[in-house]
Structure 1
Amino acid sequence: MSLPPGFLDELRSRTSLTQVVGRKVMWDNRKSNQGKGDMWAPCPFHQEKTASFHVDDRKGFYYCFGCHAKGDAISFVRETENVDFMEAIEILAREAGMTLPARDPQAAQKADKRGELAEIMERAVKFFRLSLNQQAAGAAREYLVQRGLDQAAQERFELGYAPEGNALFAHLTGQGVDPQKIIDAGLAARPDDGRAPYDRFRGRIIFPIRDPRGRCISLGGRAMDPNARAKYLNGPETELFDKGRSLYWHGPAREAAGKGQTLIVAEGYMDVIALVQAGFAATVAPLGTAVTEDQLRLLWRIADEPVIALDGDKAGLRAAHRVIDIALPLLEAGKSLRFALMPEGKDPDDLIRASGAGAMQTLLDQALPMVHLLWRRETEGQVFDSPERRAALDRSLRERIKTIADPSIRSHYGQAIKEMRWQLFNPRRPGGSGPKGRKWQPPGTPQASTKSSVLAGAGDHVQEHIREAVILATLVVTPELIEEVETQLERMECRDPDHAAIRTVLLGLPPGEDAQQAVAAHLGGEALENLMHSPHVAICPAVRHPGDAEQARLTLSEVFGKLIALRGLDAEVAEAAEEMTGLANEALTWRLREAAEACNRALRSQQEDRAAYDQGDNGMMIDRDERSAFDALLSKITYSKPGR
């Protein structure tokens, strides 16, 4: 419908924004100046206690300095009443005494029909409420009392009773209501065989469903017959009612959430009533279906982080998992969900009746962020004892995270998942805070004293000690590679106790944490300085350029290979020594030469100082110290032959 020029300007000029907003807020009289139309209040759009919501009545605009909501009277009504543009215009025009211009005949006819259907629904609510006090509703009243709903609660929630038979249809047609409109309102249905219409609700406790404006748009009914085909029944979708876009107890819950209460999403009518009765007034429920995208958007208009409190059974968990899949693509900064998991086999009503409101509040306080429940769904009951199973978990989680549209949220979810994966596959963690030391500073010029102390501590395993130090220092300055070399790092046998301690800290380092600070915190600043100030470490390109992942990756690959080769040679020599019983043969000599040549191949590197190397008989480069040790051993074997 189009409005004539000037109509909106006249509507805004006749409308007092202070009056419109004043229905939803409590003005801060100390901060406000009513004479100038300068008004302040706590914001109705987000939970706060300070008066950050400003209304300039003369200009006709509002602005919140907390959540940055802004607009005029029309936008305020749309947001707070959850109505579309034309409905907001109608509300304000009616209050201002203005007549709306002639509308499109079809639109006018549709609006008139909706009004008639809403009136019929109100008549039905009154009929069912009166029926609850009749003799036929004795079992229903007894059931409600057993559930803790006294007369006052029944009045508050407008509970009623639908008698058996076609009592409602007869009542409404007796008042002159068109039978077809009763059907259109969802209160009756016409059989396919052409027989007379029949009541949809029979032998059931009735729960009126109202929109945020308070209009009854449908009904819900709980069967009193335990053998009924459906325990709970909702009205069908009509021109008034779209179950995927509606929430039970929407209006009162929105008002309570605006006053600071946690918005709770329960499973059904009785759960909502039990929670509201226990003091959790900001509670809603979806209507006979899983939470939909539209309902999620409605929830986020009420509160930034609703708590999903579903039953503690398999069906409840499945429902929570479906909510996760629906919510992930819709996530925005500041808009998410938390999940309060009920005890096994209990719903909120059961918990409150058994343990009181305090138990429910404890569960709400302990509600899990959505990312934790996502992780739990993908890992609970699973065994990840093979690379293939771990890869399947990674693939599944990646597929879920990819559905998040917001790149920032997607990144944070990936980081959170990475940390939980680390916890699952790396259970070892540094127990408490170790001795505190001063923070390590970047190494300066290596000192001779440092070199001598390192080499002295290394004993006969100088080369292994140096390579261990290079590996550990590279990971300290580029900790994001720890996960890639985790298996090799775990298997690295550190003969130096300081190296072993640093390796333990690195293996237990959570993703994203500063490795240098962690080592200094657990082992003291001296341990970090001794590692980083070693001359062999200080000249390493990966250490000189911290954060260069590619350089660090090449360094680790090369040095791990050399370390494995060195220890392979040690193992061959040790085995040969055990086999020597005063005699030696050519096979033993050949084994040692092959081991040495394999070691030579691993130890070649253009990055190392060639001045420290000699050329072997086969043209390969071998460290002078290693060559001397090997020649001495070979000479000993050769000259120990009989007859020498």
Structure 2
Amino acid sequence: MTLSPQFLDELRARTHLSALIGRSVKLTKAGREYKGCCPFHDEKTPSFYVNDDKGFYHCFGCSAHGDAIRFLTEARGLPFIDAVKELAAAAGLDMPAPDPRSAERAERATGLTSASEAAARWFTEQLQGIGGADARAYLQKRGISEPLAKAFGIGFAPDARGKLKSALASFGDDTLVEAGLLIKVEEKEPYDRFRGRLMIPIRDQRGRTIAFGGRILDQGEPKYLNSPDTPLFDKGRTLFNVDRAGPASRKAGRLIVVEGYMDVIGLAKAGIDEAVAPNGTAVTEHQLERMWRLAEIPILCLDGDKAGQKAAVRAAHRALPMIAPGRSLAFATLPAGQDPDDLVKSGGAPAVEAVLANTKPLVDLIWESELAAAPLTTPEARAGLRQRLGDLARTIADGNVREQYQSEFRRRFDALYAAAPPEPYRGGGGGQNFRSGGQRPFGRGGRSGGFQPPLRPATEPARAIGRGGIDLMLARAVLAGLILRPELIGDHAEALSGLPLPDEALSGLRDAMVDAIVTQGSLESTDIAHILGRAGVGSTANRLLGTNGLAFSFLRSDADPLRAARDLGEAIEVLATRPAIDAALAEATRAFAASTDEAAFAEQQRLTLERAEAEQRLLALLGPEDE
């Protein structure tokens, strides 16, 4: 099924947004808009506004923003296509006809979902039967009440090879094997995958069972047995308890990430429902994206032992390239030897809240882990620390955040290992010092005179920049890169809005991009041409794509997407900071000429080096001459 931009525009135009949102949020008229208490966070004074004319909502308290489709996906947890279907039905629009392959996949997924739901019901029946006595005793021992077990759909799989197979025979062996409920080995008869285990359903955002986690009741391995990946279930993309945690996280204003199923259930015993867990794997990029849909800064609550801390560092490194303004991670460390369930048993919700109140930001975790990675007793080891920190910071795709991390790591490193300030030059034997007009101190700038950055070979791209003007060339490349990758516009909207563009046409194109991201929340490649054309800057965009001749890495069609995103952010950062650096350098040069003291000279030297570094960063984004 293909949803064209025209179809989605028509759908938004036919949807009365205040009526849609008013079904679940009490709205009152406020001029040409409606206002009410935000459904995405707790508040007593309304700061949530709905504008029917422009077709979007905005909360000035938590910055929630979007259109009708986004409201259904964020507030009600609907998948995108389901949200579109619901709006289309209400608006009297026919959905585009699905292609035969899509229809076949949808029909197969429906069968697998039905089989999984039937298995979940059967497992809960077995828990309440005679054979479930040991499982019920286990739940009682863990302090899991019957209502809580029912809320999570907990069941029991008897220790038999064919009872589930017989109970669900109407679905057929092939469907049960594909759903991960039976195991088929070569030519042997399929048999039940889960036997003699407490069964915990894994549900999607809509609360439909898509897989299971089975915990053994006694001693044995594996302790947990999970469903395999199926057409319904991808363990690297799914979060356990996301169906219950979605609404709870919006109400609580936070999301807690723990290690396992029983940790989530343990927190629920204390009334903390905004918790999720990965499915027996390290946290993946897809799971991070799902977490950020629920909270800007999810809290990873991991064990205090070495394994837990290693897991925290792995998650931090995996998240680093993806962080952005208002999107990060925090880390809470549990007392040694305790998991969330132990904490709830010993101190209840207050004990958990005490741990969650003492979180560590992502930057601190990375700094501390790198600081402790190896002894730092030699200059080489300290240089290695600085290089590792720099390498990690450079993985951040968002230019503004990357710059802040680089600056913060430099500040912390210098605070620990900064060299003593140089002594003023005193001459040979009590002669004139530097301040009084004597010889300048020796340094990187040579035996006398100011600092000079090292000369670089004049490549053809460098000569092109010199001929065409660096700011104009770079501005054209940046805007061309954003047209090619419009999904990155939102990450850089704030920096874009303040860019000093030397051309009125480029400014108009930039403004259209920023306006689009403000009104729509996100952009896709299929949308951008239509949006820019509607804003009257389509011809400017076409000329830009057709005439930009510099081989910037992020303009190549074969560029790695992550590398392209990182390099484009770097280019935006350079373009945004160059005017400030140039102005500061000019001021420092005037100050040095007026006073000729050491502080003025040091500041001029620092800014000269910073400007040279910015140019080197820019040249690094240009392709080799022979490409």
Give me the TM-score of the superposition, normalised by structure 2.
0.65
Match of 2:466 in 1: none
Q: Secondary structure of 2:147's match? A: helix
Change (3 A) 1:329 1:539: closer
Q: Kindly state the Cα deviation for residue 393 of structure 1 after the two structures are TM-superposed.
A: 1.4
Find the aligned partners of 2:22 and 2:77 in 1 and give their Cα distance: 17
Change (3 A) 1:214 1:256: same
Find the aligned partners of 1:6 and 1:326 in 2 and give their Cα distance: 37
Q: 280-289 or 416-425: which moved more?
A: 416-425
Q: Secondary structure of 1:366's match? A: coil
C-alpha contact (below 8 Å) 1:290/1:319 kept by paired residues: yes
Q: Kindly state the Cα deviation for residue 9 of structure 1 after the two structures are TM-superposed.
A: 7.4
Match of 1:235 in 2: 227
C-alpha contact (below 8 Å) 2:252/2:274 kept by paired residues: no
Match of 2:379 in 1: 387
Find the aligned partners of 2:181 and 2:429 in 1 and give their Cα distance: 88
Q: Kindly state the Cα deviation for residue 143 of structure 1 after the two structures are TM-superposed.
A: 1.5
Alignment pair present for 1:118 and 2:113: yes
Find the aligned partners of 2:359 and 2:607 in 1 and give their Cα distance: 41
Aligned residue type for 2:189: A
C-alpha contact (below 8 Å) 2:434/2:597 kept by paired residues: no
C-alpha contact (below 8 Å) 2:35/2:50 kept by paired residues: yes
Selected match of 1:542 from 587, 590, 597: 597
Match of 1:618 in 2: none
Query: 1:240-639, aligned counterparts within 5 Å?
Result: 240-380=232-372, 382-425=374-417, 541-543=596-598, 545=600, 548-550=603-605
Q: 89-98 or 370-379: which moved more?
A: 89-98
Selected match of 1:199 from 172, 179, 192: 192
Selected match of 1:148 from 143, 147, 164: 143
Selected match of 1:73 from 64, 68, 82: 68
Aligned residue type for 1:105: P
Deviations 1:19-51 (A, max 9, x none): 53245x5425xxx139x9943233345665542
Q: Kindly state the Cα deviation for residue 136 of structure 1 after the two structures are TM-superposed.
A: 2.0
Aligned length: 450
Selected match of 1:41 from 36, 40, 46: 36
Q: Kindly state the Cα deviation for residue 403 of structure 1 after the two structures are TM-superposed.
A: 1.0
Find the aligned partners of 2:5 and 2:331 in 1 and give their Cα distance: 49
Selected match of 2:172 from 175, 178, 182: 178
Find the aligned partners of 1:552 and 1:68 in 2 and give their Cα distance: 37
Match of 1:51 in 2: 46
Change (3 A) 1:464 1:324: farther
Alignment pair present for 1:27 and 2:20: no
Find the aligned partners of 2:312 and 2:327 in 1 and give their Cα distance: 17
Match of 1:190 in 2: 184
C-alpha contact (below 8 Å) 2:41/2:253 kept by paired residues: no
Find the aligned partners of 2:64 and 2:220 in 1 and give their Cα distance: 51
Deviations 1:409-445 (A, max 9, x none): 12221232233334544799xxxxxxxxxxxxxxxxx
Selected match of 2:215 from 222, 229, 247: 222
Q: Kindly state the Cα deviation for residue 10 of structure 1 after the two structures are TM-superposed.
A: 7.5
Find the aligned partners of 1:407 and 1:91 in 2 and give their Cα distance: 38
Aligned residue type for 1:172: L
Q: Kindly state the Cα deviation for residue 15 of structure 1 after the two structures are TM-superposed.
A: 4.9
Q: 414-423 or 36-45: which moved more?
A: 36-45
Q: Kindly state the Cα deviation for residue 391 of structure 1 after the two structures are TM-superposed.
A: 1.3
C-alpha contact (below 8 Å) 1:47/1:257 kept by paired residues: no
Find the aligned partners of 2:606 and 2:344 in 1 and give their Cα distance: 60
Find the aligned partners of 1:381 and 1:4 in 2 and give their Cα distance: 51
Find the aligned partners of 1:3 and 1:386 in 2 and give their Cα distance: 60
Q: Secondary structure of 2:168's match? A: helix
Deviations 1:151-204 (A, max 9, x none): 11111111111111121111000xx22221111111112112x11111111111
Match of 1:108 in 2: 103
Deviations 1:125-159 (A, max 9, x none): 11111111122222221111111101111111111
Find the aligned partners of 1:358 and 1:54 in 2 and give their Cα distance: 35
Deviations 1:364-420 (A, max 9, x none): 111101111111211227432211211121122222112112222122212322333
Change (3 A) 1:353 1:60: same
Find the aligned partners of 1:465 and 1:309 in 2 and give their Cα distance: 64
Find the aligned partners of 1:292 and 1:232 in 2 and give their Cα distance: 20
Q: Kindly state the Cα deviation for residue 84 of structure 1 after the two structures are TM-superposed.
A: 4.9
Q: Kindly state the Cα deviation for residue 64 of structure 1 after the two structures are TM-superposed.
A: 3.3
Change (3 A) 1:19 1:221: farther
Find the aligned partners of 1:538 and 1:107 in 2 and give their Cα distance: 72
Structure 1 segments unaligned to the other structure (5+ residues): 429-461, 476-536, 555-644
Alignment pair present for 1:212 and 2:205: yes
Find the aligned partners of 1:41 and 1:426 in 2 and give their Cα distance: 53
Aligned residue type for 2:179: A
Match of 2:621 in 1: none
C-alpha contact (below 8 Å) 2:434/2:598 kept by paired residues: no
Aligned residue type for 1:195: K
Aligned residue type for 1:169: K
Selected match of 2:157 from 154, 162, 165: 162
C-alpha contact (below 8 Å) 1:305/1:337 kept by paired residues: yes
Q: Kindly state the Cα deviation for residue 265 of structure 1 after the two structures are TM-superposed.
A: 0.5
Find the aligned partners of 1:385 and 1:21 in 2 and give their Cα distance: 61
Q: Kindly state the Cα deviation for residue 72 of structure 1 after the two structures are TM-superposed.
A: 3.2
Q: Kindly state the Cα deviation for residue 269 of structure 1 after the two structures are TM-superposed.
A: 0.5
Find the aligned partners of 2:288 and 2:295 in 1 and give their Cα distance: 10
Find the aligned partners of 2:5 and 2:355 in 1 and give their Cα distance: 55
Q: Secondary structure of 2:210's match? A: strand
Q: Kindly state the Cα deviation for residue 303 of structure 1 after the two structures are TM-superposed.
A: 0.7
Give me the TM-score of the superposition, normalised by structure 1.
0.63
Deviations 1:245-297 (A, max 9, x none): 11111122121121134210001111111112213221111111111111111
Q: Kindly state the Cα deviation for residue 112 of structure 1 after the two structures are TM-superposed.
A: 1.8
Q: Kindly state the Cα deviation for residue 18 of structure 1 after the two structures are TM-superposed.
A: 3.6
Aligned residue type for 1:334: G
Q: Secondary structure of 2:58's match? A: strand
Match of 2:127 in 1: 132
C-alpha contact (below 8 Å) 2:77/2:246 kept by paired residues: no
Change (3 A) 1:372 1:111: same
Aligned CA-pair RMSD:
3.6
Q: Secondary structure of 2:327's match? A: coil
